[in-house]
Structure 1
Amino acid sequence: MTEKIGVIGTPGKWSTEALADALEVRTGYRLVIDMAHVTLDLATGRLMFEDIDLCALDGLVIKKISEVYSPHALDRLEMLRVAEARGVKIFSTPGAILRLMDRLACTVTLANAGIPMPPTVITEDRGAAMAALTRFGSAVFKPLFSTKARGMVLLDRDAPDAEARIAAFAADNPVMYIQQKADLSGQDLGMVFLGGDYICTYSRVGQSDSWNTTIHSGGKYAPFEPDPELIELGRRAQAPFGLTFTTVDIALTPDGPIVFEVSAFGGYRGALDGCGIDASALVAEHVLRRVAS
């Protein structure tokens, strides 16, 4: 019997297609699912994509639930819980990803686990936000739903328009997530795990005068060899989430390593370009072993 494993992602995007290719090579079955075209009928218990009931598949791999993080993306995960309840094995589970889509949910989980993070303040009060900026000196205001530094604003307490810029940020982000700017020394790290096991670490090295090192801002991937203590920090950071494939974002600062976040979907491109590892193949093999068991 050939396992039927669908890939939820963005049709045409490299990582989605690479994962679908890896599964097709191993099973002969290929299905890329765009959640924008999935319909849930609770009366019949059917979760339809085109003419395929996703509840009839053996498994689903969530490569990307949405190109843009938003509360709307959380609703897509809730829909997938119906397939999970019907016995479809999902990687990573909707419940695990739900705790990571919202930056605050991820941060609180990391803080409760004792993971070192940059000093962070969350508030809806603009006066409290200004007080946090004054205390931090320089801070990054981050939307609760965003990736690759999109929508983030770097503010300095001495800027004459700081209060106006806080007000502008709050207009789009009523709950303000304010994090002291860390000294990244031109790079930060992506530590890759599969099923909780350490795979490799890559660095994102800044190539411009941008305050962040994301690829979106011109950063480049490079190999990095962490020491055992750093690997253990990454392991502890990802452990509470129970993800299939993930990347832990770590920065090395003068005061020691800090964790920014744990990725809901992992860095396939970083693993390939930074570590020379085909994560799609590793994930496909892992998923098929789990489905078979």
Structure 2
Amino acid sequence: MINKRIAVIGTPGKWSTEVLADHLERLTGFRCVVDMAEVVLNLQTGKLTYRDVVLNELDGVIIKKISETYSPAADDRIRMLDGLRADGVRCFSAPEQVGRLINRLEGTAALARGGVPLPETRITENTQAALAVVDEFGKAILKPLYSTKARGMIVLEAADGTEVNTHKLETFRTEHGLFYLQKFVNLGGQDLGMVFLGGEYLCTYARVGDANAWNTTINSGGKYQAYDASPELIELGYKAQSCFDLSFTTVDIALTEEGPVVFEVSAFGGFSGALKGCGIDAAEKLCEYVLNELETG
């Protein structure tokens, strides 16, 4: 066993969190799953405590899940972790990099600046401007700035008319505020998850959608399958994930008639797709990567 104390910041009881903790316990003999809802930050000392564990005294932490849902509060939790590195605690991934992806606008803006092809996207607070975008696109997806797995997303069609779309936009505004509108992309029944570990390509899986859903997420009935990505597609994934500095991530890619586009780079990445689609235990590989990084400095 390797004598390192590494905690998993995640959701106690959830498979993706617990499988990391299982692997770390097997490799190091130490097990600690941290629920950020119970963490206390002492600003005078800079210490973060979870029950009887002082996180500043650990060798490292793996940030697997900061919250069950993305929100400004999730961003606050990330900021609480910023001080760990000052005490020599390695974070996988670094909190400031994860924070760039909690907010959809910040994450996709970084991709756009990096020259990564995205679906056409417009952001505005103005309802009339948003209606003009829907008319321009013909069909658009209205997305909350803080969400995952297509939660809270709404399809708007110009054919539905101004009155219907105005009502949808104003209802959306009451909960989410800013309008983030993306041109509807025909997925052809699938999109891809391209997995990277330490900046290196690991595998690609497909999410094959349910015929009755507009998106391919597992929450909407999608299924995982293996996918043999071309070198050109892998290069696109490299380009997208290199806009950030993440220990582990998944790049979401759609194959459209105009060519591949990137939807997003995940703040945390997922293990299920790699395991069920490609037969790769990405959680185990992440733990081995983390231990090697700690051993080699």
TM-score w.r.t. the length of structure 2 is 0.97
Which residue does the alignment assign to 1:167? 170
Residue 28 (str. 1) matches residue 29 (str. 2): yes
Is the CA contact 2:252–2:265 (under 8 Å) kept in the aligned structure 1? yes
Contact 1:208 1:219 in 2 (8 A): no
1:143 is matched by which residue type in structure 2? P
Aligned to 1:180: 183
Which amino acid counterpart does residue 24 of structure 1 have in structure 2? Answer: E
Any idea what SS the aligned residue of 2:159 has? coil
Deviates more, 1:203-212 or 1:228-237: 203-212
Moved more, 153-162 or 143-152: 153-162
Name the counterpart of 1:130.
131
CA distance in 2 between counterparts of 1:200 and 1:189 reads: 10
- Tell me the CA shift for residue 19 of structure 1: 0.5
Instruction: Tell me, yes or no, if structure 1 residue 246 matches structure 2 residue 245.
Output: no
Aligned to 2:96: 95
Distance in 2, matches of 1:36 and 1:171, equals 26
SS at match of 1:209: coil
Conservation of the 8 A alpha-carbon contact between 2:207 and 2:224: yes
Deviation at 1:208, TM superposition (A): 3.2
Distance apart, 1:236 and its partner CA: 0.3
Which 4+ runs in 1 deviate beyond 2 A? none
Deviation of 1:83 (Å): 1.2
Unpaired runs of at least 5, structure 1: none
Aligned CA-pair RMSD = 0.8
Consecutive unaligned residues of structure 2, counting only runs of 5 or more, are none
- The offset of 1:240, in angstroms, is 1.5
- The within-5 A match list for 1:257-272 is 257-272=260-275
Deviation at 1:45, TM superposition (A): 2.0
Report sequence identity in percent.
55
Determine the C-alpha separation between the residues in 2 that align with 1:191 and 1:39.
Answer: 35
C-alpha distance in 1, partners of 2:85/2:75?
15
1:288 positional shift: 0.3
TM-score by length of structure 1 reads 0.99
Deviation, structure 1 residue 163: 1.4
Residue correspondence of structure 1 range 64-75 to structure 2 within 5 A:
64-75=65-76
Contact 2:142/2:180, CA 8 A, preserved across alignment: yes
Q: Secondary structure at the match of 1:116?
A: coil
Contact 2:189 2:211 in 1 (8 A): no
> Secondary structure in 2 aligned to 1:241?
coil
